[in-house]
Structure 1
């Protein structure tokens, strides 16, 4: 199957095709809520309990999300821009047809998450747990990934153009048509043999050679 190729990312809430249908919200989402054509802008969610909440055709802009529980929440056909997520529980979150622009995710738990057709642009992703997640048709466009845990993760048709990938942790990771070519840097830790199924360029292969030699038990004399 050819690589998923999303169009140019929308960078402002007002430019969304459904912007005129959005209704601004003045309260936090709650556990089990069902939100459609809703928007939140320029506020904060502090230790919000919104596990299992559904977001469809929604927009989140300029928000600061600290702690809280968004586990098992579903985000479909939604847009998240210029927001910060710090220490938030997003276990088993379901992202489908979601665009994430200029966001920062720090110390966020997303184990068991499912991402499908997710476009991330100029995002900073640090110390995020994606263990046992499933990523399909995902584009990390000019992002910074640092200390992200891909242990047990399954990824299909994922790309990293213009991105910096530092200390990406791999263990029992399954990669299919994952393309690291075009990434500004690629640094992995853990079981580097889990890169099986990925595509790298010649320069990246040279950088990975020492770790691959160790992982394969090769001696270079």
Structure 2
């Protein structure tokens, strides 16, 4: 029987044009940011709900408590951003690279991520409930207690990541590649892993969870 190949994630191909330094004071609701670099700014607590970022570089900015609900990031790069409680609920990220971000409690519930490459960094308590992820690559990052409850994941790869306390409850998975995850701990939703691909070693580690889900007792 021929083994089915796991489809590769389609990575974003971001080619930023020559950028202008952002000269504005802060973010604005429904603001329009096109071809600018926002570098080293403290954007804590600012309101950029509904804003659009096209061909932008957001570098080394603080986003503590920033409100970016329903914002759109298109053909852009987020490099070294950091923030606690950043609100990106309902946001859209398409053709975006996220590099070495450090986030805590970021809210991305109901967000749409398509062709997104998340490289390095750390995110604790990442809320992706009911989000839609398609062609998303998590590479070399640490995810502590991420919440994928009710989310839809298609062609998503966790490459060389640490994934601890993950919640997949009620999620829908298709071609989700977990094989190279360095540490895989699933807190909830093992019954939703249909559509994921794991390694033989990971299967052994997950066996007690699968047995518990099926009501199978294992005794020596």
TM-score, scaled to structure 2: 0.92
Partners of 1:191 and 1:215 within 8 A in 2: no
Partners of 1:67 and 1:88 within 8 A in 2: yes
Partners of 2:16 and 2:76 within 8 A in 1: no
Asked if 1:60 corresponds to 2:58, the answer is yes
Asked if 1:6 corresponds to 2:4, the answer is no
| Counterpart secondary structure, 1:155 | strand
**Counterpart in the other structure of 1:94:** 92
2:175 to 174, 177, 185: 177
How far residue 19 of structure 1 moved from its aligned partner, in angstroms, is: 4.9
**Counterpart in the other structure of 1:218:** 216
2:111 to 105, 110, 113: 113
Give the Cα–Cα distance (whole angstroms) in 2 for the partners of residues 19 and 83 of structure 1: 20
| Counterpart secondary structure, 1:205 | helix
Change (3 A) 1:131 1:122: same
TM-score, scaled to structure 1: 0.92
Task: Kindly indicate whether structure 1 or structure 2 has the higher relative contact order, using CA contacts under 8 Å at least 6 residues apart.
Answer: 2
Q: For 1:117-169, what per-residue CA distance to the aligned partner results, in whole angstroms no more than 9, with x for missing partners? A: 00011021111111000000000010101111010010000001110000001
Give the Cα–Cα distance (whole angstroms) in 1 for the partners of residues 189 and 51 of structure 2: 35
Give the Cα–Cα distance (whole angstroms) in 2 for the partners of residues 22 and 59 of structure 1: 10
**Counterpart in the other structure of 1:46:** 44
Give the Cα–Cα distance (whole angstroms) in 1 for the partners of residues 145 and 7 of structure 2: 29
Q: CA RMSD in A?
A: 1.6
Q: Mean Cα displacement is larger for which, 183-192 or 111-120?
A: 183-192
Which consecutive residues of structure 2, in runs of 5 or more, have no partner in the other structure?
1-5
Aligned length: 214
Which runs of at least 4 in structure 1 moved beyond 3 Å after TM superposition?
none
Partners of 2:121 and 2:142 within 8 A in 1: yes
